[in-house]
Amino acid sequence: MGKSKLLFITHEMSPFLELTKISEITRQLPQAMQDKGFEIRILMPRFGNINERRNRLHEVIRLSGMNIIINDNDNPLIIKVASIPAARMQVYFLDNEEYFQRKQVFGDKDGKFYADNDERMIFFCKGALETVKKLGWAPDIVHCHGWMSALVPAYLKTTYKDDPTFKNSKTVYSIYENDFKETLDSDFARKAVMSDMTETNTEVYKPGTNSSLYAGAIHYSDGIVLGSANIDPEVLNNVKNSNKLTLDYEFTSDFENYYNFYDEITNDELVHVA
């Protein structure tokens, strides 16, 4: 495939933040694909419990300074970067004082789900795509991991569908076990609407549950990866009914299968990987 460009968008990655198995996949898979000849970029939130000094994060001035609008409010976006020397990979971190500078990730010290997790998600998804635009780097494939990236496929198929950076991009979404049992803010779907979108475009996400976020991502993605053996049956049924190109969980342990999967996605050979 030559020097194809592969973008990873995730809310966790080892060694920076390790919450679930997603952190292992998003550390190992990009390196494996880089070894295969892909050009890699990785984006994740800069949560407050990520140690900047230990991980040697530093601000990228030329990328910072944008504002992400949510519910008519301007939210400053700061971009930081760190390197993984052993892998020769750079990771870009999206930071915002109000949304991410907390000691806990998705809930307070008592485990209570943050009321603004919907806005934090919207900020991350919008901010990730705007950051890539500012990089001037057009990915062939955008591979999203975890519920916090679930709006990215919708944005790519609507607001950004004709954008020079993304108009030729294919979207892959990895589904894992349900990460949370709570429900996002009832106004979430309305707040998630961007330009060239209506609330009809976010209707599938409206319930604000983990399963509905997956349903939206499945609907708008070009390919699906089953990243866990314990996926909710409703979600699995949704994947099956979508008729999207799918990489089954039993084949994900061999990264060669991801390489072939990406190849099929970019060549529009929409057949089921079995």
User: What are the boundaries of each domain within the chain?
Assistant: 5-266
Which value, to the nearest 10 degrees, does the dihedral of the CA atoms of residues 261, 267, 269, 274 take? -10
37-96 per-position pLDDT tens digit: 999 999 999 998 898 888 899 999 888 889 999 988 999 999 999 998 788 889 999 999
DSSP 8-class letter at 202: T
Give the integer Cα–Cα distance in Å for 201 and 194.
Answer: 10
Mean per-residue pLDDT over the chain, rounded: 93
Domain 5-266: homologous superfamily in CATH: Glycogen Phosphorylase B; (3.40.50.2000)
> What is the per-residue pLDDT for 268?
64
- 218 has a pLDDT exceeding 80: yes
Alpha helices in the chain (DSSP H): 22-35, 52-55, 97-100, 117-135, 152-157, 188-191, 210-220, 233-242, 255-266
What tokens appear for 1 in the block?
Answer: 């495939």
- 127 has a pLDDT exceeding 50: yes
In order of 81, 188, 198, the CA distances from 203 in angstroms are 34, 10, 9
